[in-house]
Amino acid sequence: MLCWCVCTLAHLHEQILRLLFAADAARDLGARLITLVTPYLAYMRQDKRCQPG
């Protein structure tokens, strides 16, 4: 099981990269399921409508 806590939004780009690297390393070590539970994840907000298709 992989548990990763991001407690601050400072240096957000680095935090997200570390999260992705940790998930990739866990997958390499045999993790079958990686779940992220977060109250807020930057870049998930969408201001414009998606194009259909």
List the chain domain ranges: 1-53
Are the CB atoms for 19 and 4 separated by under 8 Å? Answer: yes
Task: Compute the 3-state secondary structure of the chain and give helix, strand, coil in percent, each to the nearest 5.
Answer: 30, 0, 70
Q: In the predicted model, what is the mean pLDDT of the chain?
A: 76
Q: Quote the percentage of the chain above a pLDDT of 90.
A: 13
- Confidence label for 25 from pLDDT (cuts 50, 70 and 90): very high
**In whole angstroms, how far apart are CA 52 and each of 32, 43, 49?**
33, 20, 9
Helices (H), strands (E): how many in the chain? Answer: 1, 0
Average pLDDT (16-32) is 89
pLDDT in the model for residue 34? 84
**Residue 53: its pLDDT value, please?**
60
